[in-house]
């Protein structure tokens, strides 16, 4: 049975209530007219529905003046407020997280819609709105996790089609990290392997081990096997039978954090986008971290699958939690052979057979039949 996207994908709307805003009076001097507009924009961008983490984690008092100055320069020039975000590298090749999906799905689409709604709110304060630059870093880290460059490019192209289909390409611009380095003539420097001191910060080493395993290409393993490994990795190790895989994880940890260190040392964003706010998906000092799909859910779109709850709310979830739950129905986009999202058609049931969800009849939708998802 074919269903149009109007019925299957309900519109996402901006929050009706005004978001609570951080107090700026204590850290800002007396403001000009453009400064007052900039302060309202900063209050919106750092409000709790938008901001991930606390103002204390962000060290807001230290970076407030700089953020305000960047916004005010855009306001005075009657230009959109610029924001950069390094995100959307590829669907992590982990069946327990994303199932069989390799391309973007409703989780990425929900993030695009959320950014669209944020731009709408900004335009209500400053008509030029926002200019958001998404920087794909997939080509920079793909080989560390066993992802082919061709898959990265296909993911980026699919993501661009979603941006265009929603009309978000008016304010949402897509870049490749390596191309930005070429633009600002930053040469890649050789850095040594970043190896954590084995005697220091065991907790951080364990966290990195578990996180890295979650991004490695484990498609050759069954979902049940991967789930067991992810659970076991919380200890910082894998079972004895997986000694080779454990060594692969340790090597990937070193390679990834070496590249992460290089990226922070040679970050091209300040050169390419000098007036932009450089946002993040992770809580870090002096950075604006933002929620990408729904407030309170830290699972990133490329680490999960898109879902629509029975209430109609969009979200992102781990495939291991959805595919094992018969209350979710797979929904396919056009002629694709893997679900674009999973719709909850009944109240959650206890976890059972991981193939139980396939009992529900699949629904087919067509994104092109709904050019505007925001009305």
In a domain, 194, yes or no: no
In a domain, 295, yes or no: no
Task: Assign 3-class secondary structure to the chain.
Answer: CECCHHHHCCCCCCCCCCCCCCCCCCCCCCCCHHHHHHHHHHHHHCCCCCECCCHHHHCHHHHHHHHHHHHHHHHHCCCCEEEEEECCCCCCCCHHHHCCCCCCCHHHHHHHHHHHHHHHHHHHHCCCCEEEEEEECHHHHHHHHCCCHHHHHHHHHHHHHHHHHCCHHHCEEEEEHHHHHHHCCCCCCCCCCCCCCCCCCHHHHHHHHHHHHHHCCCCCCCHHHHHHHHHHHHHCCCCHHHHHHHHHHHHHHHHHHHHHHHHHHCCCHHHHCCCCEEEECCCCCCCCEECCCCCCCCCCHHHCEEEECCCCCEEEECHHHHCCCCCEEEEEECCCCCCCEEEECCCCCCCCCCCHHHHCCCEEECHHHCCCCCC
The pLDDT score that the predictor gives to residue 40 is 94
Same domain for 175 and 51: yes
pLDDT band at 285 (very low <50, low <70, confident <90, very high): very high
In a domain, 374, yes or no: no
Percent of the chain with pLDDT over 90: 62
The pLDDT score that the predictor gives to residue 178 is 82
Give 371 or 215, the one with higher predicted confidence: 215
pLDDT for 170 beyond 80: yes
In a domain, 274, yes or no: yes
In a domain, 327, yes or no: yes
pLDDT band at 304 (very low <50, low <70, confident <90, very high): very high
Asked if 63 contacts 56 with a C-beta cutoff of 8 angstroms, the reply is: no
Same domain for 102 and 181: yes
Same domain for 271 and 252: no
pLDDT for 316 beyond 60: yes
pLDDT digits (tens, 9 = 90+) for 195-228: 344 444 667 778 888 899 999 999 999 999 999 9
Give 309 or 184, the one with higher predicted confidence: 309
Number of domains in the chain: 2
Same domain for 163 and 34: yes
pLDDT digits (tens, 9 = 90+) for 318-332: 999 999 899 999 999
pLDDT for 37 beyond 90: yes
Same domain for 184 and 319: yes
Same domain for 129 and 181: yes
In a domain, 325, yes or no: yes
Least confident of 3-17, 60-74, 244-258: 3-17
In a domain, 375, yes or no: no
Give 278 or 363, the one with higher predicted confidence: 278
Same domain for 224 and 181: no
The pLDDT score that the predictor gives to residue 91 is 97
Same domain for 228 and 183: no
| Cβ density class 273-287: b for 16+ within 10 Å, e for less | bebbbbbbbeeeeeb
pLDDT band at 364 (very low <50, low <70, confident <90, very high): low
236: domain range?
A: 202-256
Same domain for 70 and 177: yes
Same domain for 172 and 97: yes
pLDDT digits (tens, 9 = 90+) for 333-360: 888 999 999 999 887 555 444 343 333 4
pLDDT digits (tens, 9 = 90+) for 61-105: 999 999 999 999 999 999 999 999 999 999 999 999 999 999 999
pLDDT for 289 beyond 80: yes
Cα separation of 184 and 24, whole Å? 34
Give 263 or 314, the one with higher predicted confidence: 314
In a domain, 214, yes or no: yes
Same domain for 251 and 112: no
Asked if 129 contacts 112 with a C-beta cutoff of 8 angstroms, the reply is: no
Same domain for 180 and 72: yes
């Amino acid at each position: 049975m074919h269903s149009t996207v109007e019925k299957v994908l309900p519109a996402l709307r901006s929050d009706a209530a005004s978001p609570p805003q951080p107090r700026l009076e204590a850290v800002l001097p007396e403001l000009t007219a453009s400064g007052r507009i900039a302060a309202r924009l900063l209050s919106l961008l750092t409000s709790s529905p938008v901001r991930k983490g606390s103002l204390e984690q962000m060290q807001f008092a230290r970076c407030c003046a700089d953020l305000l100055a960047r916004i005010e320069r855009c306001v005075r020039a009657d230009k959109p407020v610029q924001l950069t975000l390094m995100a959307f590298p590829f669907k992590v090749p982990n069946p327990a997280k994303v199932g069989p999906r390799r391309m973007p799905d409703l989780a990425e689409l929900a993030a695009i819609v959320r950014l669209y709604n944020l731009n709408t709110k900004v335009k209500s304060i400053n008509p030029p709105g926002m200019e958001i630059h998404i920087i794909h870093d997939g080509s920079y880290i793909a080989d560390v996790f066993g992802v082919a460059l061709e898959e990265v490019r296909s993911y980026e192209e699919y993501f661009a089609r979603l941006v265009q289909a929603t009309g978000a390409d008016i304010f949402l611009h897509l870049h490749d990290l390596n191309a930005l380095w070429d633009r600002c003539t930053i040469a890649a420097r050789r850095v040594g392997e970043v190896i954590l001191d084995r005697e220091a910060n065991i907790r951080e080493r364990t966290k990195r081990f578990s996180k890295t395993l979650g991004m490695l290409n484990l498609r050759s393993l069954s979902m049940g096997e991967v789930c067991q490994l992810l659970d076991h990795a919380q200890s910082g190790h894998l079972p004895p039978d997986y000694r080779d895989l454990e060594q692969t994880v340790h090597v990937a940890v070193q390679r990834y954090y070496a590249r992460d260190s290089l990226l922070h040392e040679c970050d091209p964003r300040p050169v390419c986008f000098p007036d932009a706010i450089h946002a993040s998906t992770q809580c870090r000092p002096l950075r604006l971290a933002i929620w990408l799909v729904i407030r309170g859910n830290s699972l990133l779109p490329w680490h999960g699958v898109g879902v629509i709850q029975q209430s109609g709310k969009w979200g992102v979830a781990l495939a291991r939690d959805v595919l094992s739950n018969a209350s979710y129905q797979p929904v396919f986009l056009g002629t694709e052979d893997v679900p674009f999202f999973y719709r909850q058609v009944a109240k959650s049931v206890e976890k059972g057979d991981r193939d139980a969800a396939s009992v529900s009849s699949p629904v087919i939708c067509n994104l092109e039949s709904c050019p505007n998802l925001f009305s």
